[in-house]
Structure 1
Amino acid sequence: MKLTLTDIRSLFSGSLSCFVVIGVLLLTNSFSRESLAEKTLSDTFVSIVKDTKKSVVTIHTTKISEDNTLNRGFRIKGQGTGVIYDKKGFIITNKHVVKNAGEIIIRLHDESEYKAEIVGTDERSDIVVLRIDAENLTPAGFGNSDSLELGEIVLSIGNSFGLGQTVTSGIISAEGTSNLQLTGFEDFIQTDATINPNSYGGPLVNLNGEVVGINTLPPKQTVGYFGISLAIPINVVKKVTEDLIQYGKITRGWLGVTAQPVTRELQKALGLKKNLGALVSDIEPGSAAANAGIKSGDVIIKYDGKKLKNILHLRSLVKGTEINKEVRMTVIRDGVELEFTTTMLESSKTETENKKDLFSNLGVNVQNLTSKLSITLGYEGEEGIVITNVQRGSPAFKAGLTKGDLIVEVQHKPVTSSEELYQAILKIRNEEDILLFIKRPDKASKFIVLKQKKGV
């Protein structure tokens, strides 16, 4: 059949109309699907908040100011957020939320209020367990923080600025965030969901409505929110909480190794593909590591199924391991990957040392700078702590510290007394290095790196 020009135009016109109709239908269908997805996600958020908010509490605190000022004796009020742990009245929040509080009042979702008592605290993880005498409580549902995925959507629920419960959303930005020097614990969940100060201690919730973390302080340099919010993994929180409820103390795992970071230089020298993990330098007899067959020179790259980022990551995982739990480790020895299994032992070491022991282990004796001493040593107008003796062969000696040095800063923060120096060092006990800024009688000043020998 022969087509005329008129026939071709007619056919083309009809086809074009068909294409337009199909395009409109596809576009409409696309909008419809997108709208349906948004509606579904919105409904999910609403459902999660309705189910979770009954387990979120407001915490009001009061304390008496002890400052030597006109405001001495003035009542200082504070506020934070907490999560109901179980029907027995146990509530979890950040330790700093109730620090130095004289009175703690818990306000439930139904506006009822109860006085709370502190059951126990854990400085390392910044978790405190409170208890109220109340009935018909709605505990939160808890998830598994080990199964979190990067990009997973989460919600933060808290009590921001006294405005009542508020909700923000975001995603999991990073896992195992460390080296922030916030607490002794260094294995945070990082999210871009906004967490305001009064929401600290509140829950980070996944799309199953399960609490996967407890919101906590961000690094000081990011206070005010710059896209970095942190939460303590709920698996860590649950262990701390159960320990405090059952034993009144925290049971810490003990691997029994002295380890050091894998630097670029060590990576090259050891022929490693990456500078991740922890290089074992010493093994304590009878320890979990010794029982497993770990040797000096091994590089631990995986612990309990988790790839290690650095030595801080290893320490956090070990400290959070249940006692008597069987743990698998992967190490690199002479370029070959080997697997070992051991049973975790409990650490018998105390969490902190007194000032005398701490300074003795570092190899220094110190004294507050008095007016008389400042004149004698040539430090008039200065503030700091004077080193009165350095033990030969000690970490302080190896770092180059000498008698008469004036310690002015620790980790870029001023210190003016031996107590401040002690507290500053305690806060970074999980760090390999202590950065000191010192001054000397000849007016010279310099940074000194003081290395600590730490076990895991």
Structure 2
Amino acid sequence: MKRFSSLFLVSLLSGAVTLGSYKLLFDDNGYFSKNKNSVVTLAPNSYGRQVGLSTETLDFTEAAEKTIHTVVHVKNVSRKSVSNPILEYFYGYRGDQLQEQVGTGSGVIISEDGYIVTNNHVIKDASEIEITLNNKKSYTAKLIGTDSKMDIALLKIDADEKLPYTAFANSDSVKIGEWVLAVGNPYNLTSTVTAGIISAKARNLDTSGIQSFIQTDAAVNPGNSGGALVNTRGELIGINTMISSPTGSYAGYSFAIPSNIARKIIEDLMEFGNVQRGILGVEGGELNSLASKELGVPETQGFYIQKVSKNSGAEKGGLEKGDIIIKLDDQNIATYADLSGYINTKRPNDKVQVTFIRDGKNKVLPVILSKKEFFSTEFKGMELENIDASDKSKFHIDSGVKIISVSNENLKQYESQLRGNIILSIDNVKIKDIESASKILNNKTENQSIQMEMINNKGEIIRIILQ
């Protein structure tokens, strides 16, 4: 009896401990309860049971098979005149010789009749362009047009058959984390396919041209330039353009021009023979916590308008200084790269719905984009505009901005000498156009001095310092 009592007491205590532990740990308010307020989120039991790379959930083979036949090898042959300094020194004989240089890259067939898109830097200064298809057939390509600012070139070959081609996808709809394939010819290795994910969108690398790259961790090396970045359906979402590397070879990230931008440039080159650039007509910068604090605004994302350009679509549409752009049409705008990337897909006279914040309230205004050639800006009482073709031809230059008027009282006495001058550089930074000039000038305060190098109406180079 005594032994039975002991066993009963032990059983009773064990049950009490078990019940207490359950209440403490797993009951509604227990430590592992789903209802308990905790910084730890428990994953469902099914989490991790499916691996994203399994053949049941993802297969790259179809996309790879489709794409390798549409990506071509691009051979750039250029010839430059090279002198012999020894002959010149000893005999006074200038025996210039033509030296052949060869560069290689990739391209993407975009139509069955032989149109090919590649990077401008792949075919720059080419005397001859040779295209080799995946089936080893070679053709001489004709250059249809280029856009050096956005690093896009359009080629055409006359093949004896209908060619496989890649369809364009909407690059605005790709998502971070989405699987992609990079296809090209690195190191002259044809039809190379690498896989990765979209690491970031609208990446601003502070280049003078495109400022809205797709970033991926798919391996891209020299020779991949101009090749295809495709989704798992084999649709084109970007043109591989550059890598981020201290060695010149792949070191983790690569960058592609979004297909929407490339498609717009291609269509412009085919229809107009040149690229039609539309502008919104605003200057400013993207918000972050520091900029928002300095500006005294609560928002930390969006594009803050510091200035609205005269006679621009933004001014005519009703945008004002202090407005914060948060959306263009259905595209969210959190950074400058978001804004420039979307505008680069548009043409002059296109209408965009601009959603912005003014006085804490969301507003929407339609804005008709202006033509970039008429874009002007003002700094320290000088109104500037892009140079035109006649200026480039007259002074043998390819970039710069022209001073068209002077309203600064301190400079008024020099107006006749300044008006018509073309600014070539600001603080030793080459100025390509109004956009690059505005970017530098917007970082200057009114009290900072700037050094300008310019060419006057006589073709003379002059340098001035503005206080």
Change (3 A) 1:69 1:176: farther
Q: Is the 8 A contact 2:284 2:442 kept in 1?
A: no
Q: Which moved more, 1:79-88 or 1:313-322?
A: 313-322
1:388-445 per-position Cα deviation (integer Å, ceiling 9, x unaligned): xxx9569xxxxxxxxxxxx99846xxxxxxxxx566x899457335999xxxxxxxxx
Q: How far apart, in 1, do the equivalents of 2:84 and 2:253 lie?
A: 36
Match for 1:195: what amino acid? Answer: V
Residue 56 of structure 1 is matched in structure 2 by: 71
Aligned residues: 362
Match for 2:73: what amino acid? Answer: T
Residue 256 of structure 2 is matched in structure 1 by: 231
Q: How far apart, in 2, do the equivalents of 1:432 and 1:270 lie?
A: 23
Q: How far apart, in 2, do the equivalents of 1:313 and 1:164 lie?
A: 34
Q: How far apart, in 1, do the equivalents of 2:386 and 2:84 lie?
A: 32
Q: Is the 8 A contact 2:117 2:153 kept in 1?
A: yes
Match for 2:177: what amino acid? Answer: G
TM alignment of 1:26-425, pairs within 5 A: 38-40=54-56, 44-68=59-83, 73-134=98-159, 135-181=161-207, 183-218=208-243, 223-262=248-287, 264-265=290-291, 267-274=293-300, 276-285=302-311, 287-349=312-374, 353=387, 358=400, 361=403, 410=428, 421=430
Q: Is the 8 A contact 1:204 1:214 kept in 2?
A: yes
Q: Which runs of 5+ in 1 are unaligned?
A: 1-29, 364-390, 395-406, 412-420, 437-446, 452-456
Residue 440 of structure 2 is matched in structure 1 by: 432
1:115-145 per-position Cα deviation (integer Å, ceiling 9, x unaligned): 0011010112100000111131111122110
Change (3 A) 1:324 1:191: same
Q: How far apart, in 1, do the equivalents of 2:72 and 2:226 lie?
A: 10
Q: Is the 8 A contact 1:280 1:299 kept in 2?
A: no
SS in 2 for 1:321: coil
Q: Which moved more, 1:194-203 or 1:211-220?
A: 211-220
Q: Is the 8 A contact 1:267 1:275 kept in 2?
A: no
Change (3 A) 1:74 1:104: same
Could you say which structure has the higher helix fraction?
Answer: 1
Q: Is the 8 A contact 1:428 1:434 kept in 2?
A: no
Alpha-carbon shift at residue 279 of structure 1 (Å):
1.6
Residue 30 of structure 2 is matched in structure 1 by: none
1:346-405 per-position Cα deviation (integer Å, ceiling 9, x unaligned): 434389535879376499xxxxxxxxxxxxxxxxxxxxxxxxxxx9569xxxxxxxxxxx
TM-score between both structures, scaled by the size of structure 1: 0.69
1:310-354 per-position Cα deviation (integer Å, ceiling 9, x unaligned): 345423422321444431112121222212223334434389535
Q: How far apart, in 2, do the equivalents of 1:393 and 1:66 lie?
A: 46
Q: How far apart, in 2, do the equivalents of 1:328 and 1:309 lie?
A: 16
Match for 1:53: what amino acid? Answer: I
Q: Is the 8 A contact 2:327 2:355 kept in 1?
A: yes
Change (3 A) 1:280 1:104: same
Q: Is the 8 A contact 1:222 1:228 kept in 2?
A: no
Alpha-carbon shift at residue 254 of structure 1 (Å):
2.5
Match for 1:169: what amino acid? Answer: A
Q: Is the 8 A contact 1:155 1:168 kept in 2?
A: yes
Change (3 A) 1:393 1:151: farther
TM-score between both structures, scaled by the size of structure 2: 0.68
Q: How far apart, in 1, do the equivalents of 2:271 and 2:236 lie?
A: 22
1:157-210 per-position Cα deviation (integer Å, ceiling 9, x unaligned): 0011112211111100000001431x4111100001111110100000111111
Q: How far apart, in 1, do the equivalents of 2:386 and 2:228 lie?
A: 29
Q: Is the 8 A contact 1:83 1:93 kept in 2?
A: yes
Change (3 A) 1:56 1:359: closer
Q: Is the 8 A contact 1:252 1:346 kept in 2?
A: yes
Change (3 A) 1:201 1:69: farther
Alpha-carbon shift at residue 266 of structure 1 (Å):
5.2
Match for 1:326: what amino acid? Answer: K
Q: How far apart, in 2, do the equivalents of 1:117 and 1:82 lie?
A: 13
Change (3 A) 1:195 1:289: same
Alpha-carbon shift at residue 248 of structure 1 (Å):
0.4
Q: Which runs of 5+ in 2 are unaligned?
A: 1-45, 86-95, 376-384, 413-424, 453-467
Alpha-carbon shift at residue 234 of structure 1 (Å):
0.3
Q: Is the 8 A contact 2:75 2:104 kept in 1?
A: yes
Q: Is the 8 A contact 2:281 2:313 kept in 1?
A: yes
Q: Is the 8 A contact 1:260 1:281 kept in 2?
A: no
Q: Is the 8 A contact 2:106 2:118 kept in 1?
A: yes
SS in 1 for 2:130: strand
Question: Among the aligned pairs, what percent are the same residue?
Answer: 32
Change (3 A) 1:160 1:37: closer
Q: How far apart, in 2, do the equivalents of 1:306 and 1:118 lie?
A: 33
SS in 2 for 1:218: strand
Q: Which has the larger radius of gyration?
A: 2
Q: How far apart, in 2, do the equivalents of 1:63 and 1:235 lie?
A: 31
1:66-107 per-position Cα deviation (integer Å, ceiling 9, x unaligned): 455679522111111000111221100000000011100011
Q: Is the 8 A contact 1:312 1:431 kept in 2?
A: no
Change (3 A) 1:37 1:194: closer
RMSD: 3.7
Match for 2:72: what amino acid? Answer: V
SS in 2 for 1:48: helix
Change (3 A) 1:256 1:172: same
